[in-house]
Each structure stands twice: as C-alpha cells, then as structure tokens.
Amino acid sequence: MDLAAYFRRIGFEGTARPDLATLKAVHRAHLAAIPYENFDVRFLRPGGIEPEAAFDKLVTRRRGGWCYEMNGVLGAALDEIGFSVTRLAGAVMRGERGDEVIGNHLVLKVELDGASWLADVGLGDGILEPIPLVEGPHRVEGYEFRLERLDPAWWRLHNHDMGGARHFDFTLEPAEPQRLASMCQWLRTSPASIFTQATLAYRYTPQGWVVLLGRVLRRIQPGTRSDSLLDSAEALVATLDREFGLDLPEAAQLWPAICAKHDELAATGLI
C-alpha cells in the first residue's frame, strides 16, 4: 500500500488519523473518485482477490473495480492508516438464493473507540459512508438504509429503495480467503453470473448516483431516478470517460453484445 499514491487517486488531503472523521472522509473520497465497474470480466481478463493487483488497477492504472478490488484497496489503506479492519464475507441476495452465495461480496468491519462500523465501497450504489453496526435505520443524505439482525450470527444490510442490489447478509467472523477466491472466480467465469452477462458501472457524484446498465444510463437521487438510452459504441466510450472517468476505447468492442442483451431483456419485459 502506497498510501500517498492512494490519497492522490481519491483526492484526499489533510492528515489521516485512525478516527471517525478520517474514516468517513476516505470512504466518501474513494466512492467519488473510483467507479465500480466490471469491464475486465466482460473483456475476459484474469483477476482475483489479491489487494496488490487491485491497487495497481485502481490506483496506478486509474481504473475502477468491483467489491473484491474496491474494498480490498480501501481495507489495505485503512490498515495502513492504523484502523482495526476485519474483512467479512457478504452474501448478496442470500434471502432468495441461500447460503451458496456466501462470499459473493466483500465488506469491511472497522473497530473504532469501542464501536463497530460497516464500511463498503464495493456494492455499486450502497452506503455513502461507514455506518455504525447498530440495528435499525440509517439515513445518509436522504438515502434510507437499514441494518437488520436476522439471528445471533447473521446481519442484513438493506440498500436504499433505488439501489441495484436490494440487500446483502454478513456475519462478523473474518472471511475465509479461499471462499472469497472461489466465489470471485465463479462470478468472473460462470455463464450464470450477472457479471459475465451485463456491463455495469456506478459512480457517486454531488448530484447523486450515475449508473450504467448496458445501454441504459441512469441517474439516481433520493426517491427518484431517470433513464436515457445510449445509441452507439461511440456514445458508450464517451459516457465512460465523461461520467465515470474511465478511458476505455476498447469498450466499443462490447457494443454488439450490450445491444443483444438489452434486446433480450426488453423482449421479456424486464426493462
């Protein structure tokens, strides 16, 4: 972890201390500077859960990433600052799909002054800043989140009502790296994985969330959203640069597959 390089990437200025103000500021700066995206999966490029590779991608090469990379780099930075960080195995949509999805998400628990905080920059359009690990509603800038205690072991984070992933479950036990690695590989390669089928990008801005769902460019504010439709490969490349800070001219190669998936979903009434 080259903390100075990371801070330059996210635009963090000032003195970093293991305190709540720094934790919130770094979390927010990361979300604003580094987009969530799955283009390496769509390009069939190899990858894993190693934080060194994620740092090279997100910081050195100024790309975005998904949960294993986004929270991997954030967790390493928080470690370096002096926070007590535990990596947790999340389970997106476990309520619908069961325990087989455990590890399809990486989330962070941060211990600070005798309290636990949930940090997560890897859900796409999830929490904007760390929230206390306390059951009940958590409102941040008009977005309503909720932590639910399912049983003595499991918690559930309910995303805001405009969010892509509605919820994910987690326990407070440290994640098993092999489970995370196995799920990461499945998500990267399985035809049943949403990441091998759909092209996704998310970024938080002062005007709210900007989301790319294939051809659909979506803007989200508390309680409202608006959609527009990209009409060409050139528009896709320009949108990635303008809205997400991604210089990816090779994304034009994905345009035929993006259009085919869009037409498939439209035919079934899902969009």
CATH number of domain containing 122? 3.30.2140.20
Average model confidence (pLDDT) for the chain? Answer: 95
Verify that 127 and 180 share a domain, yes or no.
yes
Burial annotation 81-116 (CB, 10 A radius, 16+ → b, else e): bebebebbbbbbebeeeeeebbbbbbbbbbebeeee
Cα torsion angle, 3, 77, 14, 12, sign = positive
Task: Tell me the pLDDT tens digit for each residue of 192-242.
Answer: 999 999 999 999 999 999 999 999 999 999 989 999 999 999 999 999 999
Q: Centre a 10 Å sphere on the Cβ of residue 71 and count the other Cβ atoms it contains.
A: 28
Q: Is 120 a catalytic residue?
A: yes
Confidence of residue 268 (pLDDT cuts 50, 70, 90): low
Residue ending a domain, among 170, 189, 208, is 189
Q: How far apart are CA 85 and CA 98, in angstroms?
A: 27
Question: Higher model confidence: residue 240 or residue 267?
Answer: 240
Cβ contact 193:255 at 8 Å:
no
Name the active-site residue from 40, 67, 169, 262.
Answer: 67
pLDDT of res. 173 = 97
Name the active-site residue from 120, 125, 138, 262.
Answer: 120
Verify that 173 and 77 share a domain, yes or no.
yes
* Closest to 222 (Cα-Cα) out of 237, 212, 207, 211: 207
By residue range, what is the domain housing residue 160?
3-189
Verify that 41 and 141 share a domain, yes or no.
yes
The total domain count for the chain is: 2
* Closest to 1 (Cα-Cα) out of 78, 64, 69: 78
Verify that 50 and 176 share a domain, yes or no.
yes
Name the active-site residue from 105, 138, 160, 262.
Answer: 105
* Closest to 87 (Cα-Cα) out of 175, 172, 3: 175
Task: Tell me the pLDDT tens digit for each residue of 27-56.
Answer: 999 999 999 999 999 999 999 999 999 999
Residue 249 carries which DSSP code? Answer: G
Residue ending a domain, among 189, 206, 238, is 189
Verify that 110 and 218 share a domain, yes or no.
no
Residue ending a domain, among 143, 168, 189, is 189
pLDDT of res. 263 = 86
Q: Is 259 a catalytic residue?
A: no
The mean pLDDT value for 166-187 works out to 97
Verify that 37 and 92 share a domain, yes or no.
yes
CATH number of domain containing 205? 3.30.2140.10
